[in-house]
Amino acid sequence: MPVFKTKLHQTGQTPIPPNSGLLAAAGPLVGVQIEVPEALAKLLAETGKPAPSPVSGMALVDTGATASVVDASLVDALGVKPVGTASVGTAGGQVTQPVYPIRIQLQGVGLTINFSRVTGAPLKEMGLVALLGRDMLTSMILYYDGPNSEYTLAF
């Protein structure tokens, strides 16, 4: 079973002191690359069109989210068209957000996940490109080690 284990680092302090609270502060972050879905990449290749360059950024593993979310402006920039809508409750009331198929590569692991449906939402302002929800965790084991500021994903 492949394992992705990451320990958060604190500038100028090695090793991290126990109970530093770094993981609690930052959350389980993972570098990801957002790419057009496989079927669209195939279509573009067949029609001789170049696939848009993937976009890299940070994603937060979010056990509170039933499904994954990707920054909508980023998906639009990749040229991926919506395949549905989702009604999302916010502090300001219900808003309708687009739903997209997308491919997300977890950097440093070599794992690429084809999502049939992720919800698009404005995440960029939060410094994130994606929230990785329980749809992804369905096939993974997440081990959260707060005292040592590290977490492990096994899949």
- Site membership for other proteins, residue 142 (CB under 8 A): no
Considering the complex, state which of residue 67 and residue 137 has its C-beta at the smaller distance from other proteins.
Answer: 67
- Site membership for other proteins, residue 24 (CB under 8 A): no
Helix, strand, coil tally for the chain in percent (to 5) = 15, 45, 40
Q: Which stretch binds other proteins (CB under 8 A): 15-23, 104-112, 124-132, 141-149?
A: 124-132
- Site membership for other proteins, residue 126 (CB under 8 A): yes
- Site membership for other proteins, residue 74 (CB under 8 A): no
| C-alpha dihedral (24, 128, 59, 38), degrees to nearest 10 | 170
Q: Considering only residues 43, 45, 77, 154, which one is a binding residue for other proteins as defined by CB under 8 A?
A: 43
Residue 92 CB, shortest distance to other proteins, in Å, is 9
- Site membership for other proteins, residue 28 (CB under 8 A): no
- Site membership for other proteins, residue 57 (CB under 8 A): no
Q: Confirm if 99 and 70 have CB atoms less than 8 A apart.
A: no
In the window 77-106, what residues touch other proteins (CB under 8 A)? 79-86, 88-91, 96-98, 101
Q: Confirm if 139 and 16 have CB atoms less than 8 A apart.
A: no
Shortest CA distance to 33 belongs to which of 98, 78, 82, 64?
78
* Cβ partners under 8 Å of residue 14, min gap 6: none
Cα–Cα distance, 135 to 155 (Å, whole number): 13
Shortest CA distance to 35 belongs to which of 101, 117, 93?
101
| Residues of this chain that bind other proteins (CB under 8 A) | 37, 39-40, 43-44, 60, 62, 64-67, 69, 72, 76, 79-86, 88-91, 96-98, 101, 114, 116-117, 119-121, 123, 126-128, 131, 133
